[in-house]
Amino acid sequence: MTLVDRPLIQYAIDEARAAGIKEFIFVTSRGKGALEDYFDVAPQLESSLRRKGKTEALQELRKTNMESGQIAYIRQHDPLGLGHAVWCARRLIANEPFAVVLPDDVIAADTPCLQQMVEAYNETGGNMVAAMEVPVEQASAYGLLDIAEANDRVLKVRGMVEKPEPKDAPSNIAVIGRYILTPKILRNLNKKMVGAGGEIQLTDAIAQEVVESDNVHGFRFEGRRYDCGSKAGFLKATVAFGLQREELRDEFTAFLHEITGTRQAAE
Ligand code: G1P
Average pLDDT (187-201) is 94
User: Among 1-5, 45-49, 162-166, which stretch is predicted with the lowest mean pLDDT?
Assistant: 45-49
Neighbours of 60 (CB within 10 A): 14
What's the pTM?
0.93
Q: pLDDT digit string (tens) for 214-242?
A: 999 999 999 999 999 999 999 999 999 99
Position 220 scores a pLDDT of 98
> What's the gap in Å between 142 CA and the centre of ligand 1?
5
Average pLDDT (18-32) is 93
Q: pLDDT digit string (tens) for 169-190?
A: 999 999 999 999 999 999 999 9
Neighbours of 170 (CB within 10 A): 16
Pairing between strand 24-28 and 71-75?
A: parallel
> What's the gap in Å between 82 CA and the centre of ligand 1?
8
Pocket test for ligand 1, best of 102, 146, 203 (most atoms within 8 A of CB): 102
Average pLDDT (199-213) is 97
| Residue ranges lining ligand 1, Cβ < 6 Å | 82, 102, 105, 142-143, 162, 174-177, 201-203, 229
Average model confidence (pLDDT) for the chain?
93
**Domains located in the chain, CATH noted:** 2-229 (3.90.550.10), 230-267 (no CATH)
> What's the gap in Å between 225 CA and the centre of ligand 1?
13
8 Å CB contact between 209 and 159: no
| pLDDT at position 64 over 90 | no
Average pLDDT (107-114) is 97
Q: What percent of the chain has pLDDT over 70?
A: 100
Comparing 72 with 35, the larger pLDDT belongs to: 72
Which SS3 state, helix, strand or coil, does residue 132 take?
Answer: strand
Say which DSSP state 93 is in: H
Position 35 scores a pLDDT of 85
Which SS3 state, helix, strand or coil, does residue 156 take?
Answer: strand
CA 234-20-94 angle, to 5 degrees, is 95
Atom of ligand 1 nearest to the CA of 176: 6
> What's the gap in Å between 226 CA and the centre of ligand 1?
13
> What's the gap in Å between 10 CA and the centre of ligand 1?
20
Which residues does residue 131 pair with via DSSP β-bridges, in sequence order?
175, 220
Atom of ligand 1 nearest to the CA of 227: 12
